[in-house]
Amino acid sequence: MAASIDEKLVRHVALLARIQVSDQEVAQFTKILGDILAYVDKLQELDTSLVEPMAHAADVHTVLAEDLPQPSLPSEQALANAPDRQDDLYRVPKVIGEM
């Protein structure tokens, strides 16, 4: 089952994870992610064909709050930690552009 981890895959996963990686980091991640996945492959020893997956331990499912209007965080407080802002807005670089 062990998928082979190569540098191309590590670069792809890093992009999915939105983490820029240096060439040196790609080499390091390729090694360590391969080691961890080889360790995790131990799970394949177990026959789980008849087992229900267990996503969490609390014996509750989809607790819904009553749909009532409530005060929310004032925008000044919400923006207080923003790295960059303009008026009541977060400021970001161009999202759609000529690539």
Partner 1 sequence: MASLRQLSALGLRKAIAAGEVSALEAAREYLGAIDELDGQLHCFNQVHRDRALERAGAIDRKRAAGEPLGPLGGLPLAIKDNICTAYGKTTCSSKILADFHSPYDATAVSRLEAAGAVVLGKTNLDEFAMGSSTENSGFAPTRNPWDVSRVPGGSSGGSAAAAAARLCAAALGSDTGGSIRQPASFCGVVGLKPTYGRVSRYGLVAYGSSLDQIGPIARNVGDAALLLSVIAGHDGSDSTSLDRPVPDYLAELDKPLKNLRVGLVSEFHSQSLWPEIRQAVDRCAEAFGAAGAAVTEVSLPHSRIDAGPDGILSSYAVACYYVVAMAEASSNLARYDGVHYGHRTAKPVKDIIELYCRSRAEGFGQEVKRRIMLGTYALSAGYYEAYYLKALKVRRLIKNDFDAAFAKCDVLLGPTTPETAFPLGAKTADPLTMYLSDVYTISANLAGLPGISVPAGLSRENLPIGVQLLSGAFNEPVLLRAARLLEVALGPAPAPPLAGSN
Beta bridge partners of 90: 85
| By the rule CB under 8 A, 89 interacts with partner 1 | no
Q: Which helix (H) or strand (E) holds 86?
A: strand 85-86
Given candidates 4, 60, 68, 88, which one binds partner 1 under the rule CB under 8 A?
Answer: 60
| By the rule CB under 8 A, 1 interacts with partner 1 | yes
* Distance of alpha carbon 16 from alpha carbon 37, whole angstroms: 18
* Distance of alpha carbon 82 from alpha carbon 89, whole angstroms: 9
**Binding residues vs partner 1 (CB under 8 A):** 1, 3, 9-10, 13-21, 25, 29, 32-33, 35-37, 39-46, 48, 51-60, 62-63, 65, 73, 77-78, 80-84, 90, 92-95, 97, 99
